[in-house]
Structure 1
């Protein structure tokens, strides 16, 4: 079975979980997805770990066509690294995505002055208000707001951008058509109408704790800067900020509302390590 490089790249994205250790090294070694696909199927390179070849041999090769058909019916675009619509910024993140699924305005993925806003799922009313305020203001200024579609700060960021009639992008840790968080379909539809919903995972893929950590590199990678609104020390927001720092992005932080409360400790750590304090939206330079 012969494939074009684009077909092979999409197939590889289904065989190996996004962020799979080792796959990016193989991509760099071969720089030819079709040749890599053939090598994996025929096990002609003894330096490739058996687990990689075994996964390729066991894969159901009717699945790519099934998913492409489903996406076509739903209006979900599949964007591979070989497409001109693929954002250059994501080529620079750790283990760049081989393919993205996008529902909405794919042009926003190439915006150069977007702002990522992240924070706790268990956000306080104060932090929710802050996230909405910053998102509304920066969206009115013409900046796309990026977040992860979780409850709490993420939802506030998306909502603030929509309230300002601005643009927003949701980066999911599951498939675009999977109902997660539960009963959040109305917000997802609003984001599609006012921006884009994207994922590395097939449309019906269930969420997984690991998926959320993996997608954080994209939440940081698509933006010019990251704003952390509320975060504990061991949180996804700190992970996103770490990716931003490694990518050379500015990290802004809302000063903690209470230095004695652990729910704000992550902000204290970021500020101590050099994050830029943000007291007002105009403090953030994009």
Structure 2
């Protein structure tokens, strides 16, 4: 237990990352011995001056607030030495030494897949992310994402809609929900899922934190699914990290006219798995396809209306265009459109309809 306390203290030092902590543990498996050394002895042992000063000036009083926070039954402080620390994350080259968790650790007990993408997705991208999250959650996969605007929010929301488990990985302290408009979403997540961060309590958002947290998103997951991303999207960083971690990268193709799809197309050119259905994902990961037929039904076309669906694009299609392309009467078209919308195959938008899947 004492080692855990020292790990938490090290994690709170600004200049100390997971790789540095791992090296310290190699030399001092009992961290209490490390913290009992003077600055001079630490320097003689090869530690940089700044680190030697930080350790010699540190006391366990610095983590009293963290330990009090942990007393709540839904507040968790996990280190490498805890049995509840997620095994898949531990396999990456730089796993966080400490994880702050808010919610249910049971999320770690089933396979996970990350869903990431643009903060400013198209209507189609948002709907696609949500629908895949629903289907994957119903197939007993935990959905991992970053609580950001856009695709992340749709991934978490879709999972909650399916009454599944979702993990939101933060780029701030776990007590500072960012963006603020997602406080309600975060509260919903913690009821059945988990909010996670490696950053100490009270850590504000900073640009460098979000690429850093991306390695946790991919590291927790068997695969990373990129739904919609521009060529310079942070989601491509997550995809690169997934590859470095020897995890699968999956991408959903989009319109060649949509700049938010160019990142996905780049990944596909680089060898990412092209995904058009939940079945594609389950087969790629060699997972038991429980409920896949049922969940894929919500992503596939209704047989009776296939011809009409072919007349509707993934971009906005007006009712006049649908009538012209289909050659059907207005009453038949209106009735079929209502059915397809209820099935979730198309979506009514200003100016007409568009395909969801």
Global fold match (TM > 0.5): yes
CA deviation vs aligned residue, 1:222-253 (integer Å, no higher than 9, x gap): 11111001112222211111111111111100
Q: Does 1:95 align with 2:100?
A: no
Relative to structure 1, the CA distance from residue 29 to residue 244 in structure 2 (aligned partners, 3 Å threshold; closer, same or farther) is farther
Shift of the 14–57 alpha-carbon distance from structure 1 to 2, 3 Å rule, reads same
Q: State the TM-score, normalizing by the size of structure 2.
A: 0.73
Runs (5+) with no aligned partner, structure 2: 286-357
2:194 aligned counterpart, secondary structure: strand
- Compute the displacement of 1:20 (Å): 6.1
Q: Which residue of 2 aligns with 1:207?
A: 205
Tell me what 2:23 maps to: 25
CA distance in 2, matches of 1:126, 1:89: 32
Q: Would you say the 8 A contact 1:146–1:171 is kept in 2?
A: yes
Mapping of residues 49-198 of structure 1, within 5 Å: 49-59=48-58, 61-73=60-72, 75-111=74-110, 113-198=111-196
Shift of 1:166: 0.9
Q: Do 1:76 and 1:103's aligned partners in 2 also have CA atoms closer than 8 Å?
A: yes
The residue number in structure 2 matching 1:283 is 280
Cα shift at 1:18:
6.9
Count of residue correspondences: 282
Q: Deviations over 1:73-100 (max 9, x none)?
A: 5841111111111112222223221111
Q: 1:32 to 1:16 in 2, by over 3 A?
A: farther
Q: 1:262–1:54: structure 2 CA closer, same or farther, 3 Å change rule?
A: farther
CA-to-partner distance for each residue in 1:178-204, whole Å, 9 max, x for gaps?
Answer: 131112111111101121111112232
Aligned to 1:244: 242
Higher CA-based Rg: 2
Which structure's relative contact order is higher, taking Cα pairs within 8 Å and 6+ residues apart?
A: 1
Preserved contact between residue 18 and residue 214 of structure 1 (Cα < 8 Å): no
Q: Does the 8 Å CA contact 2:223/2:247 hold for their aligned counterparts?
A: yes
Alignment check: 8 A CA contact 1:119 1:237 kept: yes
What is the CA-CA distance between 1:210 and the residue it aligns to?
A: 0.9
